Structure 1
Amino acid sequence: MIKTSPLDEQAYHHYKLDNGLNVILIESPACSKSAVSMSIAAGNYNDPDDCLGIAHFLEHMLFLGTEKFHSKEDDFAQFVEKRAGHTNAWTSLEQTNFYFDIHNNFITEAVERFSQFFICPLFDPKAIETEQVNINSEYELKLKDEIRRLHDVHKQAVNPKHPYSRFTVGSKDTLVEKDGISLKQRLHQYFDENYTADKMNLCILSHLPLRHQKQLVDAFFSGIKAESETATTSLPLLYRRQDLGIKIQVQTLRDIKRVIFNFPLPSEAKDYKAKSLSYLSAIFGHESEGSLLSQLKQLGLATSLTAGGGVDNHITQDFNISIQLTQMTDDNINNVANVLFNFIEYLKQQSYLDHIYQDKKQLASFAFNDLEMHKPIDWVSQISLKMQHYAIEDVICGDYIMSDMNQDWLKQAFKALVPENLRLSILSNAKINNAISPWYHTPYSISEISKQEKHLWLTSKYHLAFKNLQPNPYIPKQQFQNKLEKNKSLEKPSILYKTENTKIWYEKNTQFPQAYGHIYVSLDLESCFTDMANQACMLRLFIEMFMESVQADNYPAEAAGLHYQISAHQAGLTIHISGYAEKQSEFCNKLLLQLLNSQFSFEQFELAKTKLLTSWNNTSHSKPVQQLFSMLTNLVQNNQYSYPSLYNALSEITLAEFEYFKQQLFASINIESFIIGCWQADQAMLIGKNIVSIFANSKPCHEFNRYVYLLPKLPQHVHLSIETSDIAVVNYFQSNKSSDKDKAYYMLLNQLLSPIVFQVLRGQKQLGYMLGSAYMPVNNTAGLIVYVQSSTHTDLDIQTNIEELLFHFSEILEQLSAEEWQQMKQGLINQLEDKSLSLRALAQNRWTSIGLKDTRFNRHATVVAELELIELEQMQVFSKQLFRDNSAGSQLLMTASPKENIKFMENYQNCGLDNLIELISNNKLN
């Protein structure tokens, strides 16, 4: 029997086919979509040495045709997407996972097509040639990714006989014919050796009864080959003696000051029920007074710390302590190491603190018993993967089981926390000339930790005041559930309390049994609504300093699942608190009082200012297309500023200016709050009035308008000069109205356009790996973006191809059959009508509606009503008006490249960003 959460009303059935395929079926009568996932116990580790990346390449190739389904009309991704579905896959070191969802009406056809992936893939030579380019583009896209660069260096300091040491993505240099063996033969060989039923786990979730699902599986998956003729070989040790007790220095692209202390500890892979590593993670990672982090902060050595598990190779498991430094100097690193090893010695002298493990165990038990529903596609993907690691009865509860602390493991772990077993990674942008990693071209050096360094680390220098982690007062004493009344109609938010500057919205949770709650508080601050970048940057500086100042005091609440977040918006800031409702009101009062009464030192000011300046400066190393997205959202909204503008403004801010700003910050406010959870109305009223009373001394002010700037009718072009070598092009189409009809047209246009963009621009034109289209609303204004990032094409070439596709899109629509049109339209309608699967999703949806002034909370329903009226011929006319003559909206072309862009498009008004801002600043929609 599969152990399920008490709240999970779905029916589960596990069995095996005669060929050995492991199957879990889930009957979910209320689901609007069916979902399927296949997990294979083979991945990058199974690549042959002379064809690195073949596992990843095969994952791509299985989507490109099978012997039974190989015509253009049989394309699996398009088949699914036209029927309201999605599909994807990924490859990791030891697994590959394929998954999709689809409208219930088409599950039988989809399962048949999907099953052929694992029985008779086509491996068409033309598709192989095309996908080689796409794989190489994917590799090149991540060349500047800091995590991949770090891993590339990490691989140079492990056992070269272990497959972890190898390149995994694949490129034009590794995926080639060798020794007369074609790539097609390589694919067949890898497939035959690894894609066998004994290595596969299938999970299906559907509205269909279990017996019908079983009939589908028996009919379509029995043809999978049972076993491989190739024997499985055991892996060697990942770390040799010479791979321990070393320093690995890595030159980063961004301004990073981080050290990672990596200790290989005994593996817990076969003892997943104990989860003993969580105990170590808790005592190293806590942030309260007397913690490792608090001592490092008091000494001015570090600003943040995380601790947790890493790579588990079934013999050892990495335990990583990652620390952000204040300064990247040898002295600072040595001082941090000294404090860390003093902390380790302190822990070794303490007795085992069982309350830490029991707190974690109780929270895990609560989390499992209160398990929120996932989207079907996410659920089946998780389960098929967990079937590889857990006993079948534990595939759902396995992540939450904490049986008991393994004391023998803990003793071995403490013995391993010594300099001789350490792999110390030092990450900074300081120049290194020793070596270059082979695939991501990262400068690095590897050296042995000297005896002098070990002695220095183990010799106490500071008077340290470590304290044991105390029992957590915020953990609920016992588990409660929200009692739901059967057949009770769905409630909507209503205004519980209102004054001239206050609105408190409330909704009783009548859908979900979890005893959770969400409290949102939006503060419009008159002092921040000045259209000045220095006010915006000081607000962000305030948030940064505040979050840092309360981190230690509020850590117990965070550890107990009471999460809080504070973020800036166009007119002020938003506070969001979520988690168990039992102690949330009490914590909300505490957090708001901390916010109102915060005091900061000069040192805190300087530290936060440096941290923000570094972060904003590092955005220049973001992906070019992400930089353009950021530019776009800041451009078309009032009181929003680019990171360079914020950086320049903050550079000039003094402590005196900030203190004056802080004194005025809450002087005049407007409050809008939303309370949703298992609270009764009188309890919510008390929460709301407490919020209001905390700001009772502030003057009331009106709510400030959130504007969207309308682009001119004549298409505009702006260019961003960037440091990276890739080229990015973004076409943004903006509606000139805020009507539901426009939203319906723009949404449906993207639903139709998205698969075509992928098929043509990536599949046929091979412009790049990172591209697509998306519906992009800004506040209540509809919009659409088409974007491409490429390392192989010019901006002129990219834009020419985009324009050609968009110009002829109405003709592509003419080829749609009436059935396909209805399927695409119904797919979008189904997405909009989908009910929230969790309180978190519902709360976010409601809060968004409040922000958009949808006080009837029917914004999706009104768009659906408009969608129902749209005919194919009308969509053809709309696409012509938008893409050909600009009468259905306005267009902004944005480009990013390493050099100043030439004026290459006659149809666009080329202007600088400042000129465009001035041009649109007087033309705005609420």
Structure 2
Amino acid sequence: MLSPRYWIFLIIVLTAVGYSMIRLSQTPEVISSDADPYSYQYMQLENGLKVLLVNTPDADKASAAMSVSVGSMDDPDGREGLAHFLEHMLFLGTEPYPEPDEYQQFIKQNGGSHNAFTSYAQTTYFFDIDNEQLPGALDRFSPFFISPTFDAAYVDREKNAVNAEYSSNLKEDGRRIYSAQKMAMNPDFGFSHFSTGNLDTLADRENSAIRDELISFYKTHYSSDRMTLVIAGDYELDQLSNWARGLFSDIPQREVHFSRPNVPVFVTDQLPMDMNIEPVKELRQLKFMFPLPEIKTQYAYKPVSLITNLIGHEGEGSILALLKDKGWAESLSAGRGLSTDNASTMSVSIGLTKLGLLHIEEITAIFMHYVDLLKANGIPDYLKKEQALQHEMMFRFQEHGQISNYVTRLSSNMLIFPIEDTIYGDYRTDLASDALLKSYLSNISADNMLRTLVAPGVETDTIDPWYDTPIRIRPSSFNKAIEVADLNQLHLPEANPFIPENLTLNSGEATDIPVLLEQAEGRQVWYYAEHDFEVPKAQVLISLQIPDIQTEGRQRLLAKLYTRAVNEALNTYSYPATLAGLNYRLSATEKGLEVAVGGYYDKLPVLLERVFETMQNVEISDDEFSRYKASLQRNLENNLKARPFQRTVAELKNFLIDPSFSDTDLLPLLSDVTLNDVQAFAAGFDSKLASVTYVHGAMSVEDAQQLGALVSHYYPARIAYPATSRLVHTPKGKYQQEVSQDHPDKVMTLYIQGTGSSDLERAEFGLLAQMISSPYYQYMRTEQQLGYIVFATALPQKSVPALAFIVQSPEASPEKMMEHTDIFFRQYASELKNIDEKEYDLFRQGLITRLLEKPKNMSEKAGTFWGDLITGRYAFDTRESIAEQVATIPHARIINLYQQTIMDADSSWLLYSKGSQDVQVEGFEPLSTLDRAALPRFAHPESPLPTEIIKESSSQ
């Protein structure tokens, strides 16, 4: 039973919500949390463009986003993918900046990033950049919406990039399922159409040139009154306002009336339907989709969110808890699907076991019975108030993440919510009436559903023409009269015991870096009092270092099975904590086991102790073990079906890191693992164990010491810290390795390793990667059209720097990719020498900005410190030290590095996937000719514990 303090707190918070609503009616200003350090100003330009300005004090990055109320559902008939193609084209030149790489080069050069996406109803463009460079970025961004050139040469080339993007997703089950389900929808409903585009849909036709249609589509839909702009930076709001007016007032307001047709998602009387989809990977899913009335106007009440939160609940009495008890399901998720001005959908996805495939009718009956409970009994007020409370706490204590993500969300929200609720709309939850909830619940019925079964070997009779996915669509065969045992186990969740009651800040004395509170052989407890982010939260990170897991593949499998069993045993208990903003994670890592608990700190020790109790007392039945083992095997096999470029990078890391175990290595070991083996592991892994505990947040030193004592009570250190894995030093010579892949695309990954792990060399490689990434992309993707997935990047491993050049293509062979990479290398050698010092300084400052970018929330800050701590960097200065080195690197040194590392390279590895072609890249020997065991390893860099930290912590 919850204490009276909980109900008092609930009343206070909900009263605050009511006050916000009163305030809303008095002023059109954007509502923000009192704890939000940002300032906001809304304005509307004379051309109708809605603009939100955001002052971000002391920010090192600035950002902007533009959302346009047009998406793939607005593609003209027969021109599927046109909206997406248009999104690509706006990056490839404008009248003030006609060069196709100008925008990207400027953003990258100044430490930024950029992207865009096309959804079914919106298209959004965004960037972030060094704060000082915001004016230049806006000057290059605004012409996208005023004067794009649509250069005919690049129109023709970029079709190939769109087609390559389409090809890269042909084996992606998420895309295949998404596309297949559209085939069951009303063909007059715009969402049902193919959305990516390919060479057929974007081809020139008689009396229909694709460039002309692009321009026509742009002039129809890219109208200022259908756009929303957000600009954020560490500038006065008046200055941001001047830039908005000066740069975006010329966006034309088109005199074109546009409205989407009001057609239903499914044809009348089409439902209920059953659909079968055969996946590429070993997937087993049962999906339900229900068409609902529109929900946009009900955003303040969030009725569908409340309903899906209950359907997707994982605690006692839930649908998932009962399905797991029966051994039929592994997971369940529920949520809103699409949402337009006239319609919406709700979706439920259940991850099935093999046994569950035999009980589809019973699973459907259980789901429908739970919905019937909601219809018959209604949703009690305490659950409505809990959701309102949870959302209000999220709003009150929200922490900003990456600024580009934030402004992108805001620009999108401005198309959805009233302006005053641009921020608050995601959280605002007024108490929904029973009548409103019933109006949506009434649409969740067996007579109004698309039921989809995704599994290998299902019966199919036709093919999705876009992704070649085998499917079958039939009238639903669900038997409503089927009887299922144990339906009485279903019930609504009780009041959430993890709702925090204490939200005071208890942080200790401020320090620049974490302090060491306790130190003994094989045991450390570290602490950092958070003062930058004043939220009642904490992060506790615990590394249980177990040498056998690091050195033996079989032990790593046992660790994976053990953590799966513990997580399953904890699920019903911990799920309410997750809803209340308190999460835990238990995972197997290369060092051993890692426990992380984070969120509102009030009930954090309670959850952590329950995690430890379960770890020490977990019980696993024969049936459970069989399911966990089958699930692990399926995951390992599915990993081998990842995208080609991901597979090559994974295999590269597996060869480089010693010891390491690839999915291919682990699969044959799994067959011999028994339940007794896992039970023996659970009982004995702590016999050889060392630990690192890190407490970060609004907790006191005493709180941290108590948590450290809790770790020692359950898992006392018994050994010194074990050695860590090391990186193989690539020998002289050029070597190649094929990575087998069932995918039509071809890929190359060229890896060039540094010679050491000094901060200076890491800085040099990072700076060269910063400089070369945009030109390589421009040459290989935009100019040569060799693929959609193209990038040059820094790829450090175990603190050793490296460069990687990666291309995935539907057409080009690895030989051709490598041939053009060599051509690029020769061309860029002269370009690099000709970069003037002013431009070079911009690259250098851009990298420094990225390295020194401040954490945006407590979790990110804790993760940064933890990264240094777990690798033995006790000065906690990796980024700062590398940034200092970057500032000292002259242009001539980068030219010399390029010559030695790339032009005169005597050591590089090429991993490739050949598709259906026969490949042997000239100049590279087979990697199999190397004796991996005989290759040297890099020493692990580890700094000593600073004595002043030890003294300071001992005095505390």
What residue number does 1:814 align with?
A: 833
What does 1:243-642 align with in structure 2 at a 5 Å threshold? 243-327=270-354, 331-430=358-457, 432-450=459-477, 453-457=478-482, 459-462=483-486, 464-477=488-501, 479-481=503-505, 490-529=511-550, 531-642=551-662
Counterpart amino acid of residue 114 in structure 1: F
Q: Which moved more, 1:240-249 or 1:460-469?
A: 460-469
Deviation at 1:429, TM superposition (A): 1.6
Counterpart amino acid of residue 933 in structure 2: E
What residue number does 1:216 align with?
A: 243
Deviation at 1:626, TM superposition (A): 0.7
Deviation at 1:362, TM superposition (A): 0.9
Secondary structure of the corresponding residue to residue 621 of structure 1: coil
Return closer, same or farther for 1:50/1:291 CA change in 2, 3 Å cut-off.
Answer: closer
Contact preservation (8 Å) 2:229, 2:411 = yes
Secondary structure of the corresponding residue to residue 495 of structure 1: strand
Q: Deviations over 1:461-504 (max 9, x none)?
A: 555422320001111126435689xxx96531011011112001
**TM-score for the superposition, normalised by structure 2:** 0.92
Residue 920 of structure 1, aligned match among 931, 935, 938: 935
Deviation at 1:414, TM superposition (A): 2.6
Query: Number of aligned pairs?
Result: 913
Deviation at 1:106, TM superposition (A): 2.9
1 CA distance for matches of 2:549 and 2:87?
50
- The Cα RMSD (Å) is 2.0
Matched, 1:911 2:927: yes
What does 1:843-854 align with in structure 2 at a 5 Å threshold? 843-854=862-873
What residue number does 1:141 align with?
A: 168
2 CA distance for matches of 1:584 and 1:439?
49
Secondary structure of the corresponding residue to residue 550 of structure 1: helix
Return closer, same or farther for 1:332/1:919 CA change in 2, 3 Å cut-off.
Answer: farther
Matched, 1:692 2:712: yes
Deviation at 1:699, TM superposition (A): 3.1
Return closer, same or farther for 1:323/1:868 CA change in 2, 3 Å cut-off.
Answer: same
Return closer, same or farther for 1:114/1:713 CA change in 2, 3 Å cut-off.
Answer: same
Deviation at 1:655, TM superposition (A): 2.3
1 CA distance for matches of 2:556 and 2:540?
24
Return closer, same or farther for 1:63/1:849 CA change in 2, 3 Å cut-off.
Answer: same
Secondary structure of the corresponding residue to residue 892 of structure 1: strand
Contact preservation (8 Å) 2:616, 2:683 = no
1 CA distance for matches of 2:263 and 2:787?
38
Counterpart amino acid of residue 707 in structure 2: I
1 CA distance for matches of 2:915 and 2:229?
46
Contact preservation (8 Å) 2:410, 2:422 = yes
2 CA distance for matches of 1:395 and 1:866?
42
What residue number does 2:914 align with?
A: 897
Return closer, same or farther for 1:115/1:684 CA change in 2, 3 Å cut-off.
Answer: same
What residue number does 2:23 align with?
A: none
What does 1:103-182 align with in structure 2 at a 5 Å threshold? 103-182=130-209
1 CA distance for matches of 2:257 and 2:374?
48
What residue number does 2:852 align with?
A: 833
What residue number does 1:718 align with?
A: 737
Return closer, same or farther for 1:656/1:102 CA change in 2, 3 Å cut-off.
Answer: closer
Secondary structure of the corresponding residue to residue 426 of structure 2: coil
What does 1:18-97 align with in structure 2 at a 5 Å threshold? 18-71=46-99, 75-97=102-124
What residue number does 1:673 align with?
A: 693
Matched, 1:192 2:231: no
Deviation at 1:148, TM superposition (A): 1.4
Q: Deviations over 1:354-401 (max 9, x none)?
A: 222211211111111111123322222111111001111110111010
Secondary structure of the corresponding residue to residue 111 of structure 2: coil
Q: Which moved more, 1:253-262 or 1:897-906?
A: 897-906
Deviation at 1:198, TM superposition (A): 1.0
What residue number does 2:799 align with?
A: 780
Residue identity (%) = 25
Matched, 1:869 2:888: yes
Deviation at 1:904, TM superposition (A): 2.6
Deviation at 1:606, TM superposition (A): 0.8
Secondary structure of the corresponding residue to residue 187 of structure 1: helix
Deviation at 1:238, TM superposition (A): 1.4
2 CA distance for matches of 1:925 and 1:67?
52
Q: Deviations over 1:117-137 (max 9, x none)?
A: 111211111111111111111
Secondary structure of the corresponding residue to residue 310 of structure 1: strand
Secondary structure of the corresponding residue to residue 77 of structure 1: helix
Secondary structure of the corresponding residue to residue 737 of structure 1: coil
Residue 769 of structure 1, aligned match among 782, 788, 802: 788
Contact preservation (8 Å) 1:810, 1:877 = no
Deviation at 1:902, TM superposition (A): 4.5
Contact preservation (8 Å) 2:163, 2:199 = yes
Q: Which moved more, 1:308-317 or 1:393-402?
A: 308-317
Residue 13 of structure 1, aligned match among 20, 41, 50: 41
**TM-score for the superposition, normalised by structure 1:** 0.95
Counterpart amino acid of residue 667 in structure 1: S
Contact preservation (8 Å) 2:276, 2:460 = no
Matched, 1:795 2:795: no
Secondary structure of the corresponding residue to residue 408 of structure 2: helix
Contact preservation (8 Å) 2:42, 2:51 = yes
2 CA distance for matches of 1:18 and 1:296?
57
1 CA distance for matches of 2:918 and 2:694?
47
1 CA distance for matches of 2:88 and 2:375?
49
2 CA distance for matches of 1:597 and 1:580?
26
Q: Which moved more, 1:135-144 or 1:278-287?
A: 278-287
Deviation at 1:425, TM superposition (A): 0.6
Deviation at 1:213, TM superposition (A): 1.9
Counterpart amino acid of residue 479 in structure 2: K
Deviation at 1:570, TM superposition (A): 2.0
Counterpart amino acid of residue 542 in structure 1: Y
1 CA distance for matches of 2:827 and 2:785?
18
Deviation at 1:877, TM superposition (A): 0.7
Counterpart amino acid of residue 14 in structure 1: Y
1 CA distance for matches of 2:351 and 2:260?
40
Secondary structure of the corresponding residue to residue 109 of structure 1: helix
What residue number does 2:753 align with?
A: 734
Secondary structure of the corresponding residue to residue 455 of structure 1: coil
Extract unaligned runs of 5+ from structure 1.
Answer: none
2 CA distance for matches of 1:700 and 1:843?
26
Contact preservation (8 Å) 2:815, 2:919 = no
Deviation at 1:900, TM superposition (A): 8.5
Counterpart amino acid of residue 893 in structure 1: L
What residue number does 1:708 align with?
A: 727
1 CA distance for matches of 2:486 and 2:679?
33
Contact preservation (8 Å) 1:482, 1:512 = no
1 CA distance for matches of 2:346 and 2:596?
32
Contact preservation (8 Å) 1:419, 1:454 = no
Deviation at 1:641, TM superposition (A): 0.6
Return closer, same or farther for 1:898/1:651 CA change in 2, 3 Å cut-off.
Answer: farther
2 CA distance for matches of 1:124 and 1:446?
43
Q: Deviations over 1:861-886 (max 9, x none)?
A: 21122112211111011111111333
Counterpart amino acid of residue 623 in structure 2: E
Extract unaligned runs of 5+ from structure 2.
Answer: 1-28, 942-956
Counterpart amino acid of residue 48 in structure 1: P
Q: Which moved more, 1:196-205 or 1:221-230?
A: 221-230
